Amino acid sequence: MAARLANLKRVIIRLGSTVDQPPPRELQVLRLFALGKSTKEVADELGIAFKTAAG
């Protein structure tokens, strides 16, 4: 849970520090976390490595 919150914090900071829209894949990951999915569920659903989903 702590890793997921840290990942969300990094994404939020990135969103606030750039004028550009984040890449679509990052938005997919963020959306799934916002829906309450676990890091493993996000990785499995998107077909990415657990460590990639964990940030």
Could you tell me the two tokens for 25? Answer: 């894949």
Statement: residue 51 has pLDDT above 60: yes
The pLDDT tens digits of the residues spanning 12-27 come to: 777 665 556 778 898 8
Domain ranges of the chain: 2-54
- Cβ(30)–Cβ(23) under 8 Å? no
pLDDT of res. 5: 77
Determine the pLDDT at residue 29.
Answer: 92
Say if residue 2's pLDDT is above 80.
no
17: tokens are 């520090």
